[in-house]
Amino acid sequence: MRDELEIDINLIHSAQKNASKNLFANLLSVIITSILIYVITFSSFYFIYEKNFYFTNEYFISLGLFLLSIVFGASLSRKFSIVKRDKSERILRTLYLSSLTSLCFLIILFLALGINHINRMYILSSILIGFIIESFYFILSTENRKTNANFISGIKLSIKQLKSSIKFIFLDGLILTLFCYIEIVSNIIPGQYREKEFLLLGLVYLSWVISASCTHKFIPSAVATSRLNAFELQVKFYLRIIALVILSMIFLQFELSSAINFIRALAGYSLVSSLLLMFLFADKIKNKTDEATVVF
């Protein structure tokens, strides 16, 4: 009997050691893969923007600062812990916060060190494209990915709700496009290609898609527990977009006139989009007794 107990204890200890080793190996694999994603995207955009296929001092300095910001953002957002999570919207929310934190850290770092000679375009481009690639990697590498690859997994939509959501996506995208064209594109001087403006336009649409996935913006009648909860989700949707755009404009050192155009476009879009939401879904969102906890 005693021998059997000793064997069982040894088996338990052995299983715990193997689990710890596997956990460490998986974490190390995720960290290395994430760093490689950003190194490759950074190097690619550096060579594209600088048209230089040599490793210069500027490359190593900017790469070092870039990776430092990525690690800082990952640490504060606890990005590498999302390998255990099984919800795509939570993964996107964490990665989005990590990118925001990294960008904020870069702004402070560049101001503190007085760095103005480095081209900031390829750094911001690397953050955005790295974020997209990393999102696919984390989502596909989570457990039960086949059942959770859908952004709205676990949420059942009726045919009527699905039609309303598709209509909302189309109209909301059209409103965003109209405001971007009126306030931003139409104010660009003909014949002048403004890289910063077009990069930021791409960022606006990217943040629109990601933020909508995080908050279930286009299916409020299915996820909101009350009208107040629906309002909370929408506010967080708009704040995510505005925060990323403003931080990007500060990092890229936008001129005041161009920055005002983007702010006016986002403010106008947010107002009209929220009115559209009220018109389409206000009477369809029922108050429920259970209040949901929504994490920013």
Lowest model confidence (mean pLDDT) among 161-165, 181-185, 264-268, 291-295: 291-295
Q: Is the pLDDT of residue 267 over 60?
A: yes
- CA-closest candidate to residue 19, choices 63, 72, 67, 84: 84
pLDDT of residue 295: 42
The arithmetic mean of pLDDT across residues 215-227, rounded, is 67
pLDDT (0 to 100) of residue 296: 39
Mean pLDDT, rounded, of the chain: 78
* Structure letter (DSSP) for residue 140: H
Q: In sequence order, what DSSP letters do the residues of 145-195 get, joined into one string?
A: HHHH-STTTT----HHHHHHHHHHHHHHHHHHHHHHHHHTGGGSPTT---H
Helix (H) or strand (E) holding 30: helix 2-50
Residue 117 confidence (pLDDT): 83
Predicted confidence band at 205 (pLDDT cuts at 50, 70, 90)?
Answer: very high
- Report residue 266's pLDDT band, with 50, 70 and 90 as the boundaries: very high
Count of helix runs (H) and strand runs (E) in the chain:
10, 0
Per-domain residue ranges for the chain?
Answer: 2-148, 159-281
Looking at per-residue confidence, does 85 or 35 come out higher? Answer: 35
pLDDT band at 225; cut points 50, 70, 90: low
For residue 263, pLDDT over 80 is answered with: yes
Comparison of pLDDT for 275 and 192, the residue scoring more: 275
pTM of the shown model: 0.79
pLDDT in tens, 242-255: 999 999 999 998 88
In eight-state DSSP terms, residue 286 is -
pLDDT (mean) for 208-218: 81
Instruction: Kindly state the tokens that stand for 64.
Output: 């070092």
